[in-house]
Amino acid sequence: MSASETIAVVPRQSGAWRRAVLRGGGRLAATVALAIIVIFVLLAMSADDPAAALGSLLSGPFTSSFRTGQWLSDSANLMLSGAAVAMVFRAGQFSLGAEGQILVGALAAGAAVLHLPSFPGVFVVGLTLGALAGFLFGLVPGLMKAYGGSDEIVSTLMLNYVATYGFALLINRYLQPASAGYPVSDFFDPAAFLPSLRIGQLTIGLALPFAIGCCVAVWYLINWTKTGFEMGAVGASVPFAQATGMRVRRSVWLSMALSGLIAGLAGAVIAEGSTHRLIVGLSANIGFDGILVALLTANRPLLIPLAAVAYGYIRTGGDIAQLSSGIPREVITTLQGFLILAVTARAPLAWIRHRAGRRRPAHGGPVIPGPAPLRAAASSQRTGS
């Protein structure tokens, strides 16, 4: 293609992209409007005052500094969970194990800080051990997939049951105080609490900047390291990765283990930053909601904080609406699911197609994922240029 042809093509592509964005924005606005109407109808069927219930759902997180802090804390946990899921999804694996890995990480961190002597910075030990426990728990299905050919969906889902019931059993048997009537540990020593920053009446935990930094680290690993390039290549095309001499099995188990590390870290953050003890139901389905957060962003780590904040807002608003309006929890869960379906129905499609088109070689070869310099080098080798 000549320079004049290139100049002629680019404006048409840019114009098409702008039109696609406008169409997508219009569809998104219409879909969200329809979602709000349907939500109002559902609230009218289940709440005495639908307008007040809808107001609580939409404005609840801003009604007090405590609720705002709760929203930001929940969003930080969703960021870590979403980053864990995006890590393994970008490598072409489909893991459902974040929920169990969160519990294992919380258990390791909690058991450590409950038995260690109190000293400044003991919370770092808990975070480290939680991440290590998550890594090992994620490594198990990774090795099973890489060397045994097992289905990672089945193995990770079954390991969630192992983690859930093992978590309750160990607390009940070894960590539950005699005075407690249900599986729960003692409160941690204050030295084991995750530090927080107070701005006026608002308390922001260290978990929020920590989670954002973790998303940036995952983005860097995926896009600008050799390890991340190999994981992306395996996720895009296993035959291509094998033909170029990449270590496919290593990429499979390492991606799942690193995903487990981040999820285990999320469990430690929840235990040390939110509950301050070990309790059954500690994760509150953060692991499964992380799958939704990752899918909302098409597994792009830098967009995960935005999606986590938005979805955390819906979760917190739903909890407040339930308490203030007496709406059954099932209705709130249905509303959350419907709103997310409405938002995801059309919005990302044009953008994803645009990005896929930019990354697909013109000659029809396989998509080469990974850092731009590595993609260019691989493309040059394959075409002989």
Spatial separation of the C-alpha atoms in residues 145 and 291, rounded to whole Å: 20
Side chain identity at 153, as an amino acid letter?
A: I
| pLDDT confidence of residue 226 | 92
Which residues of the chain are under the pLDDT cut of 70?
1-29, 31-32, 35, 335-336, 339-340, 342-385
One-character DSSP codes across 165-184: HHHHHHIIIII--TT-SSSB
Residue 93 main-chain phi, psi, to 5 deg? -105, 160
Side chain identity at 144, as an amino acid letter?
A: M
For residue 123, with 0-12 CB atoms within 10 Å meaning exposed, 13-18 middle and 19 or more buried, which class applies? Answer: buried
User: How far is residue 199 CA from its own chain's centroid?
Assistant: 27
Spatial separation of the C-alpha atoms in residues 372 and 65, rounded to whole Å: 43
Spatial separation of the C-alpha atoms in residues 94 and 291, rounded to whole Å: 10
216-252 burial string, b = 16+ CB within 10 Å, else e? eebbebbbeeeebbbbbbbbbbeebbeeeebebeebb
| pLDDT confidence of residue 59 | 84
Question: Long-range CB contacts (< 8 A, 24+ apart) of 30-33?
Answer: 31/342, 31/343, 31/345, 31/346, 32/342, 32/343
| pLDDT confidence of residue 235 | 87
CA angle 74, 79, 84 (to 5 degrees): 130
Rounded to two decimals, the pTM is: 0.80
- Residues 229-286 have pLDDT tens digits of 999 899 888 888 889 889 999 999 999 999 999 999 999 999 999 999 999 989 888 9
**Residue for token digits 């093992």?**
166
| pLDDT confidence of residue 9 | 40
Could you give the count of Cα atoms lying within 13 Å of 251 in the half-sphere of its Cβ?
A: 27
| pLDDT confidence of residue 267 | 97
Q: Are 311 and 296 in contact (CB under 8 A)?
A: yes
Q: Are 95 and 259 in contact (CB under 8 A)?
A: yes
Query: Domains in the chain, ordered, with CATH?
Result: 67-325 (1.10.3470)
Q: What is the largest CA-CA distance in the chain?
A: 81
Spatial separation of the C-alpha atoms in residues 252 and 151, rounded to whole Å: 12
- Residues 98-114 have pLDDT tens digits of 999 999 999 999 999 99
Of 308, 289, 309, 319, which is closest to residue 57 (Cα–Cα)?
Answer: 319
